[in-house]
Amino acid sequence: MEQFDLNERRLADTLYEAYEKREGLEKDRVPALLEKQTAYAIQHELTKLKEERGNDPLKGYKISLTSPETQELFASDSPLYGALTDSAILDSELRLSDLQSPLIELELVFHVNEQLSPADSPEELLQKTTVAPGLEVPDSRFTDWFPKLSLGQVIADSAVAGKIVCGKPVTDVSYAQLDGIQGRLLHNGEEIAAGSSTEVLGHPLNSLQWLVNELHGHGLALEAGMAVSSGTFILPKTLEKGTYEGTFEGIGSVTLEVV
């Protein structure tokens, strides 16, 4: 067991070094056949290293693989989660050169106002959170990564967490209002993708509830002040320079400037 733990730390160190230096890893530096439990242990250690060495504390989570199409890309039968640290949460601008091979996705973001519990119903989860329009920018420490990583590599790499940007949160949103929301992604004013909140495990609150339960199984929780990027409405698009806008029916819009 001791040697196993040492290997987890060594692999987390490898990922952290690539993260810190912004240098791409070859995929053979982290074993492709990692079991989920081991991959999450590496991810958790990586999150600790970001806080301890980089003064970059945990600020929330992202949920990945919330549609059949995205699960199929990585041969998964369930969603995944990754940690979002303070530096991952943007205001409205991003330098393309700061990332390696970034994509962009259209997502709703839940802001947690009160610690969430596995006992909470979807309606209770909604009462304890506010919802905001969001854009997620997945990125990986690995070179040539999409969609060529194994499931274990994706998990270990914090579910390819890159950056998120959030619009203005809205309050008093009902379960029904989040059902079947239509979202649009525009680049320099031109629509490049559109999709529905039904792509997010059927309903975004199903995704949030999945995360609460999954974190509980790992001895973790969603605490007040955290943010959750709940899953993409669309298949990811390659990030390019320019102005992106995500619009969400009944929720609002969010803008990201990529320079």
Instruction: Write b or e for each residue in 37-51: b if 16 or more Cβ atoms lie within 10 A of its Cβ, otherwise e.
Output: ebbbbbbbbbbebbe
pLDDT band at 75 (very low <50, low <70, confident <90, very high): confident
Give the residues across from 103 on adjacent strands: 238
CB 247 within 8 Å of CB 192:
no
All residues at 6 or more sequence positions from 140 whose CB lies less than 8 Å from its CB, including other chains? 100, 101, 146, 149, 157, 160
Q: What is the pLDDT of residues 168-200, one digit of tens each?
A: 999 889 999 999 999 999 999 999 999 999 999
Q: pTM to 2 decimals?
A: 0.94
Distance CA 146, CA 184 (A): 22
Distance CA 121, CA 111 (A): 17
In this prediction, residues 144-169 reach a mean pLDDT of 94
- Give the CA dihedral 42, 43, 48, 54, nearest 10 degrees: 110
Query: Residue 44: enclosing H or E segment and its boundaries?
Result: helix 36-54
Q: What is the pLDDT of residues 200-239, one digit of tens each?
A: 999 999 999 999 999 999 999 999 999 999 999 999 999 9
For residue 119, give the amino acid letter. Answer: A
